Chain A
Amino acid sequence: MAKTHVTMKVNGAEVEGLVEPRTLLVHFIRENLQMTGTHIGCETTHCGACTVDIDGMSVKSCTMFAVQANGSDITTIEGVANADGSLSALQEGFRMMHGLQCGFCTPGMIMRAQRLLKENPKPSEEEIRIGISGNICRCTGYQNIVKAIQYAAAKINGVEFREAAE
């Protein structure tokens, strides 16, 4: 199958590649760009492990072709840390609140949460739970992921985070 040339911005850098039209975006990111933080969990658009941010949208990159992302501006988990290399508020929140265990869902979860907080800087617990309902975690039971996102929201908003009472 003839290959198509694609260019896109990924984590601020212009990248290009030759892909088959059927090449899934997640494979382009993982195989061509060698950024393996974006994971594949279910392949049927349910688990969200492959979530990346494309032009301001949370997208499951297993359900989009790389050719469709031609010209897009993409952020993956590798582009989330602060410019000085320190953990972003969300990354820090996940660590401080024990919002991850095996770490496999974490990149997709953080990418989704980042977009959620951009659209809704002060989400309620219910809004967080709905907001991450396209992402499956098998380890944490979500409770500490919710707290991690609350922690990050508080930090971003410059207010003190009080862990919800059990």
Chain B
Amino acid sequence: MIPGPFSYHRPTTVADAVKLLSTLGDDARPLAGGHSLVPMMKLRLATPEHLIDLHDIAGLKGVTRDGNNVLIGAMTTQHELLASEVIAKSIPVLHEAALLIADPQVRYRGTVGGNVANGDPGNDMPALMLTLGAAYRLEGPNGVRKVAAADYYQGAYFTAIEAGEILTSISIPVPAAGHGHAYEKLKRKVGDYATAAAAVVLTMSGGKVETCAIGLTNLSETPLLADAAAKAVIGTSLDAASLKKAAAAAQAIMAPAADARGPVEYRKHVGGIMVMRALQRAAAKAA
């Protein structure tokens, strides 16, 4: 299991990286943490001729609060995300999710940008970003644009990113104070992708759900925003019937693959359970 040969580039500015990617075209791939790409290269399922390592680009790392938004630099590692006070205070659901990604070593190298950018349906952060209403900053040969996470994922490994573009940061509107949150992930073992996972961010008022967003991981070719499921619980006290309704609405949009984690029916079944459990746990945390 040895990667094929490639040329290695280590630009120090986004502009240089974009230039390299644009010039080298399809034969070039950006390299962040490498924990998705390098194993693929070792299996020779990916054989880029050029790797553009983003580690030397200043300003791609770090978590900052900017008014009502939190900005996460694309090269921020999961480990750094876990160490961030800003995240702990403002968007604690990301902490919970990051702890469930892979294992400690992978979290030191794996980046948030890499996790959201490549469109791997097994990655956890994309569903969180959908749930939180995040937007991605893409820098490319034609300048900078912002794409909502909800518009970014188009298929497995197929995203809105265009040739020469790099995802440089993520902007997340800070959820309302007192919001409840949960990420329920069923996996076979540490290091595995989710059999099914659900993210919930909600607010409660007078014992009833006021606002709610639900995201789903690894239950389709792309991460999913379960809008109908979220609507089904708004105004309810999350009684058994509403929970079931939400689970059914979420299951209606799930289309997981059958794999060693289980057949389709099972993955949808537990997908519904993850939704219910995440709703209940989020509600319990809400002020």
Contacts and interface: CB of A to CB of B under 8 A. Distances in A.
Interface in A14-69: 20-22, 24, 43-46, 48, 51, 57-60, 63-65, 67-68
A140 interface: no
A147 interface: no
A48 B106 CA distance: 10
B38 interface: yes
A44 B35 CA distance: 9
B109 A22 contact: no
A132 B6 CA distance: 33
Contacts of A65: 8, 34, 38
A24 B3 CA distance: 9
Interface string A117-151: 00000000000001111100000000000000000
Contact of A45 (B39, B79, B190): B39
Contacts of A130: 104, 190
Given A21-B51, A22-B2, A60 B106 contact: yes
A134 B106 contact: yes
A48 B190 CA distance: 12
Interface string B1-23: 11111111010000000000000
B104 A63 contact: no
Given A64-B38, A68-B53, A21 B104 contact: no
Contacts of B1: 43-44
A112 B190 CA distance: 16
Contacts of A116: 104
Nearest to A70: B10
A60 B107 CA distance: 11
A134 B109 contact: no
B101 to A, nearest CB: 11
B103 A133 contact: yes
Contact of A22 (B5, B53, B102, B191): B5
B145 interface: no
A2 B5 CA distance: 10
A4 interface: yes
Give the interface size class of chain B: 20 to 34
Contact of A60 (B3, B51, B105, B190): B105
Nearest to B50: A21
A134 B8 contact: no
Interface-centre pick from A1, A58, A112, A132 (highest chain B CB count, 10 A): A58
B108 interface: yes
A4 B39 contact: no
Interface string B90-133: 00000000000011111011000000000000000000000000
B3 A134 contact: no
A58 B105 contact: yes
Contacts of A46: 191
B188 interface: no
Given A46-B191, A64-B109, A131 B104 contact: yes
Interface of A: 1-2, 4, 20-22, 24, 43-46, 48, 51, 57-60, 63-65, 67-68, 112, 116, 130-134
Interface of B: 1-8, 10, 34-35, 38-39, 41-42, 51, 53, 55, 79, 102-106, 108-109, 190-191
Among all A-B residue pairs, the 4 with the closest Cβ atoms: A134-B103, A21-B8, A57-B108, A133-B190
Given A46-B191, A134-B190, 9 more contacts: A21-B5, A21-B51, A24-B3, A43-B1, A44-B39, A45-B35, A48-B105, A51-B105, A130-B190
